[in-house]
Amino acid sequence: METTTQQAPQAIIRGVDIHKRYVMGRDNFVDALQGASLEVQPGEMIGVMGPSGSGKSTLLHILGCLDSLNAGEVWLDGVRVDKLSRRELAALRRNEVGFIFQTFNLVSSFTALENVMLAAEYAGKGRAKRAIRPRMLSPWSGCPIERDIAPTSYPAVSNNGSP
Ligand SMILES: Nc1ncnc2c1ncn2[C@@H]1O[C@H](COP(=O)(O)OP(=O)(O)OP(=O)(O)O)[C@@H](O)[C@H]1O
Ligand SMILES: [Mg+2]
């Protein structure tokens, strides 16, 4: 009999028993996450649902390497990232992670195009790539980003959701 061994695909995101405590003072703290775990497979699309204050944004910030955790593990594409240095985390955020923020965090004195190009600039992309990339994004985002517009003119299309 022929047997085949199928390996499960490696999770693109894996959070294991994540704990997060926000400390505001000596006896003033919030345990926002108390053992959150999840696995996301490549190509999978998930939604995180829960009541206000249940820790959704906290979880997304930790998985996206924007915030630290008190205990647990975070793995991205097979690499454990919760122990990386600040410099390594900055490179990871710049090259591997994309966020659409609820408060969209654009630089208001820049046009929409300049805002998109800024990230490419930090990533060290050449002029041509910087010019092409935002045009590739525009049909996806629905934002006429190639026009020289101020981001504040388009709050409805720029504000796509949490975190
Ligand atoms: N920077 C912070 N300092 C102190 N407490 C915080 C901080 N951020 C979040 N919290 C607290 O942690 C808990 C989880 O908050 P979080 O923002 O992750 O919830 P959420 O599920 O995203 O809520 P919402 O649906 O309202 O966005 C809440 O009690 C919140 O008040
Ligand atoms: Mg939130």
22 lines ligand 1 (CB under 6 A): yes
pLDDT tens, per residue, the chain with 163 residues: 555 566 667 999 999 999 999 999 999 999 999 999 999 999 999 999 999 999 999 999 999 999 999 999 999 999 999 999 999 999 999 888 888 887 778 888 887 777 777 777 777 776 656 666 555 555 545 555 555 556 555 544 444 444 5
Residue whose CA is closest, atom 6 of ligand 1? 22
Would you state the pLDDT for residue 114? 76
Ligand 2 centre from 120 Cα, in Å? 27
pLDDT at 155: 47
pLDDT of residue 153: 57
pTM comes to 0.78
Q: Name the residue ranges covered by the structural domains of the chain.
A: 13-83, 112-158
Query: Whole-angstrom Cα distance, residue 134 to residue 11?
Result: 29
CA distances from 160 to 12, 89, 92, 105 (A): 23, 25, 23, 12
Structure tokens at 109: 């004195």
CA distances from 151 to 16, 25, 57 (A): 37, 37, 24
Based on the number of CB atoms within 10 Å of its own CB, is 105 exposed (0-12), middle (13-18) or buried (19 or more)? Answer: exposed
Residue 157 contacts residue 138 (beta carbons within 8 Å): no
Q: Which pLDDT score is estimated for 111?
A: 76
